[in-house]
Chain A
Amino acid sequence: MITRIESISNRLQRISCGGLLLFLLFYSLPVEVLAETKVNRDMPSSAVLNPAAELWRDVRQRESGSKGKSQVRGVDSGVLINANGDRWRKFRMEQLIPVGGSVLLGVVALLGIFYMIRGKVLIEGGPSDRKLFRYSTYERMIHWFLASIFLFLAISGLILLFGRPLLIPVLGKEVFSVLASASKEGHNLIGPLFMLAVVLMFIQFVRRNIYQKGDLSWLLRGGGIIGSKHVPSNFFNMGEKSMFWLLILVGSVIIASGLMLVFPVFGQGREWMELAHVGHALGAILMITVIIGHIYIGSVGMEGALDGMTTGYCDLNWAKEHHDHWATEVIEKGDDLSQAEVEKLEGSSLPEMTIVKLQESGK
């Protein structure tokens, strides 16, 4: 008798539970997933657990992180929902494009303001008639090889990043698509050459870029940006050395992430490529910012700074003002040249390396 009453009461309980479930499901159908959670919370009985709730948790990989399986072969084909995709979209659309764009424009604006205040840094002693040998043909070739590759990659990358908001309204989708396609193909094709150029640059310049005595005092005195007094430095000053190491380190990040993006055949999934894209973009924005400063100094910012990289010889007074330690060393060795000697060396058909050797042995 008691069991009978119990079973009736169980039955009634079930019916009322079921009724409540039906009620809840019926009135909250457009938001089924929410409703299921609600049912679970409100219903004390675990018998009516909807297995779909578990499934959707698995699908979103919020708790279990278990991967599904698919007959379709491919990296990540067993992943139903890639939750990081939305994180990546937010990064690109809400941070990278507006913030990155402001940073680049800001640097250009700052340099413009700096130029208006400071103007071109002239050689105080005026151009001298004596020159110092600074970069060999091979060194200049590496520099301009890397520079042209960098410029191409930077411009094509910026077209892909900022083209949709900036260029499509001007060019239209069809024309911009051709430009963007060329940028993408060119970026992918030339990209690996950047790796070669950075390696050559590293091998050729690393010894002169190791931090040494005098670098810290150069930094402490602001590299001469503040005030008008020049700060003595070695062959490369602290700023140039830091840019070199930034190029090597940030360049490595850009190269590694670029390889992950350009060759989607190493089994890397979307999450790796999203991460690689974040590293690639941040590294590139940082490097472009620094290079804008580098180009500023080399062009309109300073008199005599570009000569070494174009002709191979720099002005003696410029060297004394900006690289005093190195200039003193060269003059002590008596390796400074007159304009006539430079012209003679430049006119010579002998390869540059031989000239350097002649220079050394002749003295």
Chain B
Amino acid sequence: MARMKFYCDPERCIECNACVTACKNENEVPWGVNRRRVVTINDGDEGERSLSVACMHCSDAPCATVCPVDCFYTTQDGVVLHDKDICIGCGYCFYACPFGAPQFPEDGAFASRGKMDKCTFCAGGPETDNSSDEHRKYGSNRLAEGKLPLCAEMCSTKALLAGDADVISDVYRKRIINRSASVMARGVSYRDSSFRAPKNVGGKSSSNE
């Protein structure tokens, strides 16, 4: 089976936050919950880079390790999902996660944590695929419809890639080679290479490929 992964290319991300909006709309997540966010490092300075980040669907997920009720599971596609019927909203996954992926809607008095919500790779939850129960709890299940997560599908610069790890790394490998080629051909620095077409190289649409 495939192993689903996200990859965000910091040389391409323009911090438009379309992925954040697309995710929120597609999955109808509760108030205060953002399954995906764009983080900008060195904002406004030279070398500014942005990255879109959500659950990275770790192969050995720390959230699943620390969960006191063992509500996480990994699907055959390598997607890390959790069962909201079992989750007790303790927050331990949030402490352990390196990416800040688990989110908690405010529930009841004193802003106590409700059941955890996180990116599902648009793969729903343990309920029957595309049932109304699944949609209410986890949002849409695009994977079951043969579609990829909407955040990546919407990304205008194709910075955010989603899909089988092999395919994603192939795409990224090609990008690296192209960038390196422009370093080699034009002697520009790596930093400048990604945004300009090399001299004497005609433009080409990727759709002609």
Contacts and interface: CB of A to CB of B under 8 A. Distances in A.
Interface of A: 11, 14-15, 18-19, 21-22, 25-26, 29-30, 32, 47-52, 54-55, 58-59, 66, 68-72, 74, 76-83, 85-86, 88-89, 92-93, 160-161, 163-164, 168, 173-174, 176-177, 180-181, 184, 188, 261-265, 270, 273-274, 277
B204 interface: no
B20 interface: yes
Interface string B82-101: 01011111111011111110
Interface in B33-87: 34, 37-43, 47, 49, 51, 53, 62, 65-71, 83, 85-87
Given A29-B169, A79-B100, A180 B88 contact: yes
A93 B66 contact: yes
B144 interface: no
A61 to B, nearest CB: 10
Contact of B69 (A48, A177, A270): A177
Contacts of A32: 176
A177 B85 contact: yes
A262 B39 CA distance: 28
B201 interface: no
Contacts of B39: 68-70, 77-80
Contacts of A174: 85-86
Given A71-B38, A72-B34, A77-B100, 17 more contacts: A21-B180, A29-B169, A48-B189, A49-B189, A68-B39, A68-B40, A77-B37, A82-B99, A85-B96, A85-B98, A89-B62, A173-B70, A176-B69, A180-B68, A184-B90, A261-B91, A264-B111
A342 to B, nearest CB: 46
B62 to A, nearest CB: 5
Contacts of A261: 91
Contact of B95 (A51, A72, A180, A274): A274
Contacts of A71: 15, 17, 20, 37-38
Nearest to B170: A29
B194 to A, nearest CB: 9
A51 B191 contact: yes
Given A15-B184, A177-B86, A30 B41 contact: no
B94 A270 contact: yes
Contacts of B70: 164, 168, 173
Q: Is the interface of A mostly helix, strand, loop or mixed?
A: helix
27 contacts: A21-B184, A22-B180, A25-B176, A29-B169, A29-B173, A50-B190, A59-B51, A66-B42, A69-B43, A70-B37, A70-B38, A72-B34, A72-B37, A80-B41, A80-B99, A82-B97, A85-B62, A92-B96, A168-B69, A168-B70, A173-B70, A176-B69, A177-B86, A180-B68, A184-B89, A263-B111, A273-B95
Most chain B C-beta atoms within 10 Å of own C-beta, residue among A78, A85, A174? A85
A84 B180 CA distance: 35
B28 interface: no
Contacts of B66: 89, 92-93
B105 interface: no
Contacts of B62: 85-86, 89
A47 B180 CA distance: 12
Contacts of B94: 270
Most buried by A among B20, B62, B97, B190: B190
Nearest to A18: B184
B11 interface: yes
Contacts of A163: 68-69
A180 B69 contact: yes
A337 to B, nearest CB: 49
A18 B182 CA distance: 9
Contact of A21 (B34, B51, B85, B183): B183
Contact of A164 (B42, B51, B69): B69
Nearest to B185: A18
B43 A160 contact: no
Nearest to B17: A71
Contacts of A82: 97-100
B173 to A, nearest CB: 5
Nearest to A22: B180
Contact of B71 (A50, A80, A177): A177
A161 B68 contact: yes
Contact of A14 (B15, B83, B187, B191): B187
A90 B187 CA distance: 46
A55 B184 contact: no
A10 to B, nearest CB: 8
B69 A89 contact: no
User: Which of A69, A92, A161 has the largest count of B CB atoms less than 10 A from its CB?
Assistant: A69
A264 B113 contact: yes
A132 to B, nearest CB: 46
A14 B86 CA distance: 59
Contacts of B191: 49, 51
Interface string B154-168: 000000000000000
Nearest to A75: B100
Contacts of B34: 72, 74, 77
Contacts of A78: 39
